[in-house]
Amino acid sequence: MGETKGARTSARLVESMLDLIQSRGYSGTGLNTVVEHAHAPKGSLYFHFPEGKEALGAKAVELAAERFRSLVASSALESRTPGEVVRRVIDVLAGMLVDSDFSLGCPVSVVTLEMGAQSERLRDACAGAFDSWITPLAEYLGAHGQPRAAARAVATTVVSAVEGAVIVSRAQRSVEPLRSAASVLAVLLDQGDARTAEASW
């Protein structure tokens, strides 16, 4: 069955909220602006999101998480080593920054920094988003021979480093911080992968 009109409207609202968070921040995004951006009927926002802005923001964070998770998954399928996965992901992120003239950041980090101390709902959504990136990366590293605890620690470090590099790149209006992160992380990941392979002989 096709998507209903209501579902399409709801999806447009979430998409618009995500776009606006990336460019204006969560606090700088008003609900009227979201409705206008989505070309949605007036009143549709509270029909689909009766709990208001926090509920819509949480859905936008979930959408951002899903997109990044898909990027990592597709990069893993096209890569031979963990280091290559990270390089592919960072290449895409660097391209997005350049294409937006460094105006778009990671919406999950934006919402975390702005609202993490004020809204438990949004903090939980952001924590879930980060975990949804760390867990499959840890599983991927585990499949490449990393011990479980080490794989989780490394995956957490990779996600944290990439998030930080995006912020520094925006501040400096340069993708050099991202490129540096890619180079260092790729070397560390592939050295670990090589050591694991040697130990298995």
What is the CATH number for 73? 1.10.357.10
C-alpha distances out from residue 59 to 39, 122, 160, Å: 18, 9, 22
Domain membership of residue 23 (yes or no) is no
Domain membership of residue 175 (yes or no) is yes
Is-contact 99 175, C-beta < 8 A? Answer: no
Other residues' Cβ atoms within 10 Å of the Cβ of residue 108: 24
Domain total in the chain: 1
Best-predicted range by mean pLDDT among 5-14, 94-103, 185-194?
94-103
Domain membership of residue 194 (yes or no) is yes
Confidence of residue 18 (pLDDT cuts 50, 70, 90): very high
Domain membership of residue 46 (yes or no) is no
Domain membership of residue 129 (yes or no) is yes
Query: What pLDDT score was predicted for residue 4?
Result: 87
Phi and psi dihedrals of 171, rounded to 5? -65, -40
Residue 191 has pLDDT above 80, yes or no: yes
Residue 198 has pLDDT above 90, yes or no: no
Which residue in the block uniquely carries the two structure tokens 């912020």? Answer: 167
Domain membership of residue 170 (yes or no) is yes
Domain membership of residue 36 (yes or no) is no
Task: Report residue 55 as tokens.
Answer: 């509920």
Domain membership of residue 35 (yes or no) is no
Domain hosting residue 134, numbered range:
61-199
Mean of the per-residue pLDDT values of the chain = 91
In angstroms, the CA 191 to CA 40 distance is 51
